[in-house]
């Protein structure tokens, strides 16, 4: 089955990193899954993803602990730390937790570092389905600059494909639906790790279970867009995104560079949504336990840009602490309809601090996303001709629900600093 046959719309879910860093527990995964099932599932949110270091018993924050022992099976494959994921006891791995997430009508995902554990390579432990050992296939000069857990896998070595096949056979047994592979889409030391991406895509096909493949971190090079689109369902176009205005402002450039590259089954990824209650055990992003530093206007700007661009949407906060405002950002049916079904997203104009994007919707409607990235309230406008519309139209502002019209020649709005409005015109 081709990876393009699934993730036909941009994936939506929750990931544990922004609130719990490398130290999330099974109880926290279950609790957030329960919230999603009760409050978000009916709006299309479906993936529950356990982020990095689930195999490290001593993880306590987003700060990685170098060269610590990791839980591993006899075939060089990392296993959930039983002290953090009690249902994994007795070699059951993530199957019990995955079964629970599936029982809620949701899908289950995990994070994976590119490569093979260093401790497996040093001990020359077996690779399932091959006479090779972990030492034979490890590439000791291919390392991650920010995490010491793994060596890269040398794709030219006998046993390399067998190793990745054995991983994804295990994940299929666990009922995994989504895999976020890290240290692979971009590297401070190396180029994009295309040979290992190919090994992983082969392994997913081999295991026979549909799994969404997400590649991190970014920024993935735009010049590799065709390769990434052929081998992955989503790939990061930015380094880790946090609740800083300068990072959000930078995303306008990144989205402009990647416009037109999205298609059903393969999505450029603007990274997670650092909204709500974050930083509980994650000190990444320059902050401790906090509510998002984005103002309400900045939160609307982020949700508008991510949605019209059709980035995957992965919420990073502790869902159970959501207030009504945060929940409203995730459950606006008109915005989610645009995110799910629009096409042709593109920049229309960028004049100083005034930015306008558009996309086409079903049945001939148009969307207009208008942003004020400046420090003062100002009017932002777009003509019907720029939107490809010839006759007077009615407009609905999707965040407020306000109806406007008929619009004769130009749509214009006073927008607060760092704010946005989003119109559907019909």
For residues 298 and 48, give the distance between their C-alpha atoms in angstroms, rounded to a whole number: 25
State the SS3 of 338-403: HHHHCEEEEEEEEECCEEEEEEECHHHCEEEEEEECCCCCEEEEEECCCCCCCCCEEEEECCCCCE
Mean pLDDT of 112-127: 98
Mean pLDDT of 40-56: 98
- Identify the DSSP state of 86: G
Give the residue with greater pLDDT, 8 vs 3.
8
Residue 1: the pLDDT is 58
Residue 285 has pLDDT above 90, yes or no: no
Residue 2 has pLDDT above 80, yes or no: no
Which of 213, 225, 221 lies closest to 238, judged by CA? 221
Give the pLDDT band (50/70/90) at residue 283: confident
Residue 282: the pLDDT is 86
Contact assessment for residue 125 and residue 136, using Cβ atoms and an 8 Å cutoff:
no
Please report, rounded to a whole number, the percentage of residues in the chain having pLDDT higher than 70: 99
For residues 51 and 20, give the distance between their C-alpha atoms in angstroms, rounded to a whole number: 9
Give the pLDDT band (50/70/90) at residue 80: very high
Q: What is the pLDDT of residues 169-182, one digit of tens each?
A: 999 999 999 999 99
Residue 4 has pLDDT above 70, yes or no: no
B/e letters for 155-181, b = 16+ CB within 10 Å, e = fewer, are beeebbbbbbbbbbbbbbebbbbbbbb
131: helix, coil or strand?
Answer: coil
Give the pLDDT band (50/70/90) at residue 266: very high
Mean pLDDT of 339-368: 95
Residue 343 has pLDDT above 90, yes or no: yes
* Chain mean pLDDT for the chain: 96
Residue 324: the pLDDT is 98
Residue 191: the pLDDT is 87
Give the residue with greater pLDDT, 190 vs 34.
34
- Identify the DSSP state of 320: G
- Segment among 123-137, 186-200, 241-255 with least mean pLDDT: 186-200
- Segment among 187-201, 238-252, 347-361 with least mean pLDDT: 187-201
- Identify the DSSP state of 152: E
Residue 364: the pLDDT is 84
Residue 287 has pLDDT above 80, yes or no: no
Residue 16: the pLDDT is 98
């Amino acid at each position: 089955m081709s990876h393009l046959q699934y993730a036909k719309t941009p994936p939506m879910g929750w990931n544990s990193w922004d609130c719990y860093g490398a130290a999330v527990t099974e109880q926290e995964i279950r609790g957030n899954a329960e919230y999603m099932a009760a409050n978000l599932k009916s709006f299309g949110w479906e993936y529950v993803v356990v982020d990095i270091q689930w195999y490290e018993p001593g993880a306590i924050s987003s700060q990685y602990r170098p060269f610590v022992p990791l839980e591993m099976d006899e075939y060089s494959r990392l296993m959930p730390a039983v002290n953090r994921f009690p249902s994994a006891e007795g070699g059951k791995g993530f199957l019990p937790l995955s079964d629970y997430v599936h029982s809620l009508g949701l899908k289950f995902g995990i994070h994976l570092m590119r490569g093979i554990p260093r401790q497996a390579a040093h001990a020359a432990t077996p690779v399932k389905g091959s006479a090779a050992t972990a030492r034979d296939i490890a590439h000791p000069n291919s390392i991650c600059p920010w995490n010491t857990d793994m060596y890269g896998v040398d794709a030219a070595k006998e046993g390399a494909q067998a190793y990745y096949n054995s991983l994804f056979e295990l994940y299929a047994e666990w009922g995994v639906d989504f895999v976020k592979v890290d240290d692979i889409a971009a590297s401070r030391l190396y180029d994009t790790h295309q040979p290992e991406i190919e090994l992983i895509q082969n392994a997913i096909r081999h295991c026979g279970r549909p799994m969404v493949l997400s590649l991190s971190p970014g920024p993935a090079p735009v010049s590799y867009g065709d390769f990434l689109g052929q081998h992955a369902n989503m790939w990061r176009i930015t380094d880790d995104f946090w609740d800083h205005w300068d990072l959000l402002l930078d995303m306008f450039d990144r989205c402009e560079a990647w416009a037109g590259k999205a298609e059903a089954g393969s999505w450029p990824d603007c990274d997670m949504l650092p909204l709500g209650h974050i930083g509980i055990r994650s000190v990444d992003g320059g902050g401790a336990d906090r509510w998002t530093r984005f103002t309400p206007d900045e939160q609307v700007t982020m949700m508008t840009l991510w949605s019209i661009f059709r980035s995957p949407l992965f919420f990073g906060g502790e869902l159970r602490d959501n207030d009504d405002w945060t929940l409203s950002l995730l459950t606006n049916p008109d915005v989610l309809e645009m995110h799910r079904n629009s096409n042709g997203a593109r920049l229309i104009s960028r004049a100083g601090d005034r930015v306008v994007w558009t996309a086409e919707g079903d049945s001939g409607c148009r969307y207009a996303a208008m942003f004020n990235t400046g420090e003062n309230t100002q009017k932002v406008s777009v003509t019907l001709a720029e939107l490809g519309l010839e006759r007077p139209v009615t407009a609905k502002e999707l965040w407020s629900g306000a109806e406007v019209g008929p619009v004769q020649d130009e749509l214009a709005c006073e927008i607060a600093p760092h704010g946005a409005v989003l119109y559907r015109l019909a």
